[in-house]
């Protein structure tokens, strides 16, 4: 019984470490009413979901880079400008993360979809004018 209690306690400690660890990795969204910032809120989402691994400094699949606003506005080979300031729903960046992407595979390629709450943060940033902030 003592052994069981110790094991259970040990598992609880481990579980809480794992859970706390996950929370630390999750990008922090903007506070209510706060403008979305590209560098503070949007870029960390791209980093968490591997977008910057394939569309960043080392690799530029389809010539697209998502690690700068300037490059997002230029966009990729197939769909053109990835971001249309003020129009998230028409922006290829958002559409390519949806269940019906306009080109090839849903992004991030080969990984779990970006959660809706994080996609909404990106939508807000685009609809607020896609500023380099
Ligand atoms: C493992 C590599 C990989 C990852 C990770 C990845 N992409 Fe892609 N991306 C590609 C490839 C390859 C294409 C070309 C289309 C295809 O093959 O489906 C592409 C195409 C795109 C396009 C269209 C570019 C054009 O030609 O106009 C957009 C937008 C895009 N990705 C955004 C993203 C976003 C946002 C993420 C993260 C949520 C992401 N990608 C993650 C490999 C990747």
User: Cβ < 6 Å from ligand 1: which residues?
Assistant: 46, 49-51, 53-55, 61-62, 64, 66, 75-79, 82, 92-93, 96-97, 103-105, 107-110, 114
Cα–ligand 1 centroid distance for 105 (angstroms) = 8
| 109, 116, 121: residue to mutate for ligand 1 pocket, most atoms within 8 A of CB | 109
**62-70: long-range pairs with CB below 8 Å, 24+:** 66/93, 67/43, 68/132, 69/38, 69/130, 69/131, 69/132, 70/132
Task: Look at residue 103 and give its three-state secondary structure.
Answer: coil
pLDDT, position 111 = 98
pLDDT band at 1 (very low <50, low <70, confident <90, very high): low
pLDDT band at 17 (very low <50, low <70, confident <90, very high): very low
DSSP 8-state assignment for residue 35: P
- pLDDT tens across 42-101, in order? 999 999 999 999 999 999 999 999 999 999 999 999 999 999 999 999 999 999 999 999
């Amino acid at each position: 019984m003592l052994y069981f209690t110790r094991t259970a306690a040990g598992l609880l400690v481990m579980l809480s470490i794992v859970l706390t660890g996950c929370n630390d990795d999750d990008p922090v969204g903007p506070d209510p009413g706060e403008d979305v910032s590209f560098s503070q809120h949007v870029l960390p989402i791209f980093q968490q979901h591997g977008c910057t691994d394939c569309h960043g400094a080392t690799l530029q699949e389809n010539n697209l880079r998502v690690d700068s606003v300037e490059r997002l506005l230029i966009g990729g080979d197939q769909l053109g400008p990835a971001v249309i300031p003020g129009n998230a729903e028409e922006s290829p960046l958002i559409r390519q993360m949806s269940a019906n992407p306009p080109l090839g595979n849903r992004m991030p390629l080969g990984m779990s979809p970006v959660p809706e709450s994080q996609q909404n943060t990106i939508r807000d940033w685009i609809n607020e004018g896609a500023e380099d902030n």
